[in-house]
C-alpha cells in the first residue's frame, strides 16, 4: 500500500483537506478504473482534473502531491495515497458495500493486480504508437526538465526510482520512437494474459467467478484501451469479448470510457493511415 508520509509532500495545503479528493485525468487508464470503482461504490468524492496534455502532472504543485507525477492520487482526510490499485484496495475497506475484493481472496487479488500493473508500460507503448500521429515527441524537453526538478523525489520517506523510470521512458520515445519490436513484445504479453482471461471466462461470468471484482474493473480498462488501438479481441479471445461488451453497457463503466467525437475522429484518421501503410497493430504485432 503506497501512502505518502509527511516528508514526501511539498504541497502542504492538501494535508488539511477533509473527505475524498481524487486527482485524475479523463483519458488516463488508471484514472478510469478508479472512477469506475468509485461509481460502483457510490462514495462521495471531489474531482480535481489534471490535464496531461498540458503536462499539469509535471508541474511543481502537482508533484508536491504525488512525487511520481502520475494519476490518480487520492487525498483522504489529509492522507495522500497513490497508485490506482492501492487506492481501490484502501477504499474497498473504507466503503465495504458492494464488496469488490472478495473476502478471503485478498492475497490472490494482490498478486493478480500486481501482474496487471506490470503491464502498464506495455499498454502505454501500444497506446502511443497506435492512437496518435507519429513523429512528435509526446513530452517536451521543457516538461521533462520540470518533472525532473519538481517534487521531493521521495515516496515513503525514501528516494523513489519510479520517477527515473518515467523519465527514461519518455526520453527513449522521443529519441527512438516506438519500434515494431517493442510493439511485438508488448502485444505478445497481452495476448498471453488475455488467453488466460479467456480461459477464466469459459464457465464464469466474471474473472474471479460469479461476482464482479476489482480485477474485472482493472482488466476492462486495459481491454478497452487495446481495442481502441486495434487489438482483435473478438477474433482471438471470444469469451473476453463477450465479458467486455457485457460490462461496457453498464452506466458505471460506459460513462468513463466514452470517446469524445473529436478524439474519435482523430483515432479513425490514424487507423486509416495505418491501414494504408500496412502498419496496424494486428499487422505490426503479427496477431
- Give percent above pLDDT 90 in the chain: 89
The string of DSSP codes covering 20-51 is: EEEEE-TT-HHHHHHHHHHHHHT---EEEE--
Domains and CATH numbers, the chain: 1-100+137-176 (3.40.30.10), 113-134+179-285 (1.20.1050.10)
Largest distance between two CA atoms of the chain? 55
Q: Give pLDDT, residue 214.
A: 97
Of residues 136 and 113, more confidence is placed in 113
Dihedral sign of CA atoms 256, 261, 265, 266 in order: negative
Q: Which tens digit of pLDDT belongs to each residue from 2-38? A: 779 999 999 999 999 999 999 999 999 999 999 999 9
Q: Which tens digit of pLDDT belongs to each residue from 75-120? A: 999 999 999 999 999 999 999 999 999 999 999 999 999 999 999 9
Q: Considering the entire predicted model, what is its pTM? A: 0.95
Q: Are 263 and 271 in contact (CB under 8 A)?
A: no
The string of DSSP codes covering 67-107 is: TT--S-EEEETTEEEESHHHHHHHHHHHS-SS--S-TT-HH
Q: What is the Cα–Cα distance from 71 to 59, expressed in whole angstroms?
A: 13
Position 194 pLDDT exceeds 70: yes
- Give percent above pLDDT 70 in the chain: 99
Q: Which tens digit of pLDDT belongs to each residue from 150-186? A: 999 999 999 999 999 999 999 999 888 999 999 999 9
Q: What is the Cα–Cα distance from 1 to 101, expressed in whole angstroms?
A: 15
- At 1, the pLDDT band (50, 70, 90 cuts) reads low
Q: Give pLDDT, residue 56.
A: 96
Q: Give pLDDT, residue 133.
A: 74
Grid cell listed for 273:
493511415
Q: Give pLDDT, residue 60.
A: 95
Mean of the per-residue pLDDT values for the chain? 94
Amino acid at each position: 500500500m503506497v501512502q505518502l508520509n509527511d516528508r514526501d509532500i511539498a504541497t502542504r495545503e492538501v494535508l488539511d483537506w477533509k473527505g475524498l479528493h481524487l486527482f485524475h485525468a479523463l483519458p488516463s487508464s488508471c484514472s478510469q478504473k478508479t472512477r469506475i470503482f468509485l461509481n460502483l461504490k457510490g462514495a462521495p468524492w471531489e474531482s480535481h482534473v489534471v490535464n496531461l496534455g498540458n503536462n499539469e502532472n509535471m508541474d511543481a504543485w502537482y508533484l508536491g502531491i504525488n512525487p511520481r507525477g502520475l494519476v490518480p492520487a487520492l487525498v483522504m482526510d489529509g492522507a495522500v495515497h497513490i497508485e490506482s490499485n492501492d487506492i481501490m484496495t484502501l477504499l474497498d475497506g473504507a466503503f465495504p458495500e458492494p464488496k469488490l475484493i472478495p473476502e478471503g481472496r485478498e492475497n490472490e487479488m494482490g498478486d493478480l493486480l500486481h501482474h496487471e500493473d506490470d503491464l502498464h508500460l506495455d499498454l502505454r507503448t501500444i497506446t502511443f504508437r497506435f492512437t496518435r500521429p507519429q513523429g512528435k515527441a509526446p513530452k517536451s524537453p521543457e516538461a521533462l526538465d520540470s518533472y525532473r526538478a519538481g517534487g521531493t523525489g521521495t515516496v515513503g520517506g525514501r528516494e523513489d526510482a519510479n520517477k527515473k523510470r518515467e523519465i527514461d521512458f519518455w526520453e527513449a520515445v522521443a529519441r527512438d520512437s516506438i519500434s515494431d519490436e517493442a510493439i511485438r513484445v508488448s502485444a505478445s504479453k497481452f495476448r498471453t494474459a488475455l488467453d488466460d482471461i479467456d480461459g477464466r471466462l469459459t464457465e464464469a461470468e466474471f474473472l474471479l467467478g460469479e461476482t464482479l471484482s476489482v480485477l474485472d474493473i482493472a482488466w476492462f480498462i486495459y481491454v478497452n484501451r487495446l481495442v481502441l488501438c486495434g487489438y482483435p479481441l473478438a477474433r482471438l479471445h471470444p469469451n473476453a469479448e463477450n465479458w467486455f461488451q457485457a460490462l461496457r453497457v453498464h452506466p458505471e463503466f460506459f460513462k468513463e470510457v466514452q470517446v469524445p467525437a473529436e478524439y474519435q475522429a482523430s483515432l479513425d484518421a490514424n487507423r486509416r493511415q495505418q491501414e494504408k501503410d500496412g502498419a496496424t497493430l494486428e499487422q505490426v504485432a503479427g496477431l
